[in-house]
Amino acid sequence: MDGIIILDKPKGITSFQAARTVSRAMGREKTGHAGTLDPMATGVLPVMVGRATKLLQFLPETEKEYEAEALFGIRTDTADADGAVLESGGRIPSEEEFREALSEMKGAYLQTPPMYSAVKKGGVPLYELARKGQTVDRIPREVIIYGAEVVSFAGDKAVFRVSCSSGTYIRTLAEDAAARCGTVCHLTALRRTSACGFGIENAVTEEELLMAAGEGRAEEFLVSPEELFRDLPEVTVSGDLERLFLNGFDFPVSRTGCVYPAGTRVRVADPEEMIGLADVTGDGMLHKLWQRQTV
């Protein structure tokens, strides 16, 4: 069984542990997840199963959506409720202050990855250095905030919703917004509601998946790889061209009856379904990146 499980990751486990649950449920050793969620976070976690794991390196850059709760006046070393308190007693901003701070952050901005993150420094994940009490310089990275709005505000807490580019740390976004208000905060809840083009309404819980696995119907929750790349242009191959593609031979994309500029990524399909991914090279050749089945 190859494909994608859109998992609603529960709180309290790592993304790796969640992927292992999918592996057991599907009876497949090979799984890989897209877009790590912290143990505290819940929500959409696409898990690739079987041959689909090789698609991780080719995932399209789609925006992600989150809903988070921030507690003002307290800063932790992880920027969430799982960390140790570093500072307390900070002022509580008004709803209007926080709303304005979030609004000002829309668009591109340079974000410094938190120490408790999987970003590597000298080949070592930052979270490993952080656990040893080390703090190192980190290179700010450009992220894009497409939208940010306050959902509710009561006392010292605010619930807010964000749509952003891949690689954005919502913990850091909250801290940066709080800093604009002259205070500190940390996240007490974080839920990813959309990733890779799939919303929370498409997700299956661990309980649902394991129950289905026990009844021998876990494959019902498998999503076709084609769904990940539904927005890409498609070329159709059959006969000799399909054999050339599956055997890894480049050939002119014009032979499919299509013309695309160099650098275009396309879905490759036989008359019935998607069978792979390819790029159009500088000299107009179709170059295979991934195929759905073995020859």
Q: Which residues are catalytic?
A: 38
| Paired strand residues for 236 | 269
What are the distances in angstroms from CA 126 to CA 40, 116, 141, 157, 269?
Answer: 18, 6, 15, 28, 41
DSSP-derived letter for residue 155 is T
Q: Work out the number of other CB atoms within 10 angstroms of the CB of residue 43.
A: 23
Q: Which helix (H) or strand (E) holds 44?
A: strand 42-49
Q: Which residue has the tokens 């292992």?
A: 20
Treating both helix axes as pointing N-terminal to C-terminal, what angle do 95-104 and 170-180 enclose, rounded to 10 degrees? 120
At residue 188, the 3 state secondary structure works out as strand
User: Considering only CA atoms, which of 251, 81, 110 is closest in space to residue 169?
Assistant: 110
Q: Cα 177 from chain centroid?
A: 22
User: Considering only CA atoms, which of 278, 274, 241 is closest in space to residue 257?
Assistant: 241
Tell me which amino acid residue 249 is: F
Q: How far apart are CA 240 and CA 246, in angstroms?
A: 10
Q: How far apart are CA 13 and CA 11, in angstroms?
A: 6
What are the distances in angstroms from CA 91 to CA 35, 94, 186, 214, 216?
Answer: 33, 10, 13, 51, 54
